[in-house]
Structure 1
């Protein structure tokens, strides 16, 4: 089983020490193409394009200005440790064992607006480029036009290498839209996480993101290969609800949000 998750806006670029060897992104040449487009934009243009503050626009303009494709290990950081948002708080990569990190390297992929697809131990530079950004490029008017075929081909290659036809979608809608599902040689399973609030169960973004990370961690810890086994997921108070689920959309409920 192959998993995909979204990246995070919040980054932690502080260096870490890893016992495992890092790798380089498979689609680095394509990332370089996008970075070179962004290099030509002023801070004001980046701010308008990404709908971010002047401060963030200046920071990311500086990042793109310094971008180069052949960056070294001491310039980058493993993706699983660079991203620091809600999903990654649930995943808690720092507490994974070396064996678990190696399993994640083989079974987990991070979708990215700049890098397309990242493995957990792929070295990346800090950046800001959301998948929904309407950045004009040679393939079209946005990043979906640029990435859809390449991301899908990359995932199909990994599915074949794992000898699996199941992809567990733990990514947001914004990012999973970058996958051309009709061309994906896999059954897609998308877990749904709901918390009880104001008398009903509903998806609460903050909790759902963290729950996706928790499920990714659960699968990494248990080394789950049978998708039926994910219904045993019970971390942080969630439980599987058979009555609310379908085969490809298992629903997990939690009575009290934490």
Structure 2
């Protein structure tokens, strides 16, 4: 079983837990360098036009691109799980993880990324801004989906082959999840379960609605739950009850699981 999540735009170094020992290198760092080389030829106005960012944010992104340096080491890069800081990541209690939790996370969690393709929790990374959905025609490809899809899908298939259950738990946003070729995954015996979180809402169907910020946090909570309980099959995730969420068998299908929050937290 593999848990798949999206990255976050917010990134900053977080202190590592006492049990932290070893870092790893992103699997597709050569392709990352290829993207950086192509980004370096763009001016700040060109970056701003492509990314639709303010002058201040564009300047910061420009600096990140031109400061990007490999090879990575602990002095110039930081582990991915302790760098991303968005709503989902704030709910992942990485500071409490011991060796067993870190080992599990490294084997069962992948973070999709526009620059790195995919990252394991202990992979070193440098901060960046490159969303998967950007219209960036890299290496003669139409966009980043085309640039990454074949290799990422093959890598996920290989990762799943080493696990007891060939199931992808999709906790990523649509923007990132669609980089994986679902038909190719299914052809290779991989099943995909997309998780949806719903919160109480007066205007929602049956009194429930997906509220983005709460759903992002719930994704992080589920990742944390899986890591702390070292879940090895999807069925174990139906026991997730953090922040008042309960699995709704009635609203779920084989490929789409719904968790409803019984009360706001």
**Counterpart for residue 197 of structure 2:** 193
SS in 2 for 1:23: coil
**Counterpart for residue 177 of structure 1:** 178
Query: How far has the Cα of 1:98 moved from its partner?
Result: 2.4
Cα distance change, pair 201–157 in 1 and its aligned pair in 2 (3 A)? same
Note if contact 1:29-1:69 (Cα within 8 Å) is conserved in structure 2: no
Query: How far has the Cα of 1:222 moved from its partner?
Result: 1.1
For residues 13 and 229 of structure 1, what CA distance do their matches in structure 2 show?
32
Is the aligned partner of 1:219 residue 2:220? Answer: no
Equivalent residues in 2 for 1:75-114 (5 A)?
75-114=76-115
**Counterpart for residue 123 of structure 1:** 124
For residues 21 and 111 of structure 1, what CA distance do their matches in structure 2 show?
21
**Higher mean displacement: 218-227 or 104-113:** 218-227
In structure 1, the gaps of 5 or more residues are: none
Q: 1:68-100 CA distances to partner (integer Å, 9 max, x unpaired)?
A: 231322100000010000110121222222220
Over aligned residues, Cα RMSD in angstroms?
Answer: 1.4
Note if contact 1:170-1:191 (Cα within 8 Å) is conserved in structure 2: yes
For residues 162 and 104 of structure 2, what CA distance do their matches in structure 1 show?
14
For residues 220 and 61 of structure 1, what CA distance do their matches in structure 2 show?
35
Q: 1:216-249 CA distances to partner (integer Å, 9 max, x unpaired)?
A: 1111111112212211110011011111111221
Cα distance change, pair 242–17 in 1 and its aligned pair in 2 (3 A)? closer
Cα distance change, pair 30–84 in 1 and its aligned pair in 2 (3 A)? same
- Runs ≥4 in structure 1, deviation > 6 angstroms? none
SS in 1 for 2:256: coil
Is the aligned partner of 1:37 residue 2:38? Answer: yes
**Counterpart for residue 12 of structure 2:** 12
Q: 1:11-40 CA distances to partner (integer Å, 9 max, x unpaired)?
A: 113564663200000000000001111111
Aligned residues: 258
Is the aligned partner of 1:252 residue 2:252? Answer: no
Note if contact 1:207-1:257 (Cα within 8 Å) is conserved in structure 2: no
**Counterpart for residue 29 of structure 2:** 28
Cα distance change, pair 160–132 in 1 and its aligned pair in 2 (3 A)? same
In structure 2, the gaps of 5 or more residues are: none
Note if contact 1:117-1:154 (Cα within 8 Å) is conserved in structure 2: no
Cα distance change, pair 59–167 in 1 and its aligned pair in 2 (3 A)? same
In the superposition, the TM-score normalised over structure 2's length comes to 0.93
Note if contact 1:166-1:188 (Cα within 8 Å) is conserved in structure 2: yes
Note if contact 1:169-1:188 (Cα within 8 Å) is conserved in structure 2: yes
For residues 183 and 213 of structure 1, what CA distance do their matches in structure 2 show?
27
For residues 194 and 67 of structure 1, what CA distance do their matches in structure 2 show?
39
**Counterpart for residue 50 of structure 1:** 51
For residues 194 and 51 of structure 2, what CA distance do their matches in structure 1 show?
28
SS in 1 for 2:131: coil
Note if contact 2:91-2:220 (Cα within 8 Å) is conserved in structure 1: yes
Note if contact 1:100-1:221 (Cα within 8 Å) is conserved in structure 2: yes
